[in-house]
Amino acid sequence: AKMEGRGTWRFFEPAMDASLQRRRALELDLREAMAKDEFSLFYQPLYDLNLDRICGFEALLRWHHPKRGLVPPDQFIPIAEEIGLICPLGEWVLNRACEQAVTWPSEMKLAVNVSAVQFRDPDFIDVVVNALAASKLSPRRLELEITESVFLANSNETLATLHKLKAQGLRIALDDFGTGYSSLSYLRSFPFDKLKIDKSFVRDATATHGSKSIVRAVISLGKSLGMTTIAEGIETVEQLNHMRAEGCNEAQGFLFSHPVPVTEIAAKILELRNG
């Protein structure tokens, strides 16, 4: 066992070193990325299944690294959270997204992702209020997407923050629903407007019985609690038809469109205006 242990150690040590080095390097670069203007927002259409047309966009952050190319948000957002960069970065996202969305047709809403760390920041409400005021975007057009990880913290504070945000007139969506720490009691206690069914369930809903049942239950739960439901990660017509048949309100995914740069927004609106 000892020999095996040593063998394994030798084998893995350089690999661990490399990933640690990559992380350190990303961390250093990330600290400068904002000043160097390396971030941009892409937008993915949200599609209203009842009206059968596009109803808005979700802003998705992109980091154009000068040497590595596009670094996916799943790789740099956790680092930004750890090193305390997520709040300024999230503020930049909100400001930029609101500025851009105010130029769209007024029936287009804007969904913005909010990290749990950012959500817990005492200044977060001011940041949202300021972004709305500076851009003059109507709060009714803004939807903040939070994940179940916000509930890991003090739930009284979480609840107070949610109420203050809602008092501004904006909506709150619970993202990646079903993948996290969720307890159904959260749904009773917290004022969500929307449940976003995670793409893992959407992917399997046409294949496995378990996912199909979960999707059906989430949609009916949403309905009975007065919440809108949206299915993310729709890639096939089959998945789309399934979600429509189940009574899901909105859909989003590669079938409609990949996330696009802001310059392609007008074309997407035209393209997806009618079925």
Q: Which residues bind to Ca ion, rule: CB under 5 A?
A: 113, 145, 175-176
Which of positions 105-124 make contact with ligand C2E (CB under 6 A)? 113-115
Q: Specify which residues 57 forms β-bridges with.
A: 45, 110
Stretch that binds ligand C2E, among 1-9, 98-106, 219-227, 232-240 (CB under 6 A): 232-240
Q: What is the DSSP string of 213-273?
A: HHHHHHHHHHHHTT-EEEE----SHHHHHHHHHTT-SEE-STTT---EEGGGHHHHHHHTS
Q: Is 251 a residue that touches ligand C2E (CB under 6 A)? A: no
Contact of 206 with 216, CB cutoff 8 Å: no
Q: Which residue is nearest to ligand C2E (CB)?
A: 253
Which of positions 40-99 make contact with ligand C2E (CB under 6 A)? 44, 59-61, 72-74, 77, 90, 93
Contact of 173 with 192, CB cutoff 8 Å: yes
Which of positions 136-165 make contact with ligand C2E (CB under 6 A)? 145
Residues written for the chain: 275
Q: Is 272 a residue that touches ligand C2E (CB under 6 A)? A: no
Helical spans, DSSP H, in the chain? 2-33, 73-82, 86-101, 116-120, 124-135, 155-167, 184-189, 199-205, 209-224, 237-245, 265-271
CA–CA separation, 166 and 164 (whole Å):
5
Q: Which residue's CB is nearer to Ca ion, number 104 or number 177?
A: 177
Question: Could you give the maximum distance between any two Cα atoms of the chain, in Å?
Answer: 67
Among 106, 140, 254, 271, binds ligand C2E (CB under 6 A): 254
Q: Which residue's CB is nearer to ligand C2E, number 175 or number 250?
A: 175
Least Å distance between CB 219 and ligand C2E?
Answer: 18
Give the total of residues touching ligand C2E (CB under 6 A): 24
Least Å distance between CB 8 and ligand C2E?
Answer: 32
Binding site for ligand C2E (CB under 6 A): 44, 59-61, 72-74, 77, 90, 93, 113-115, 145, 175-176, 199, 232-235, 253-254, 259
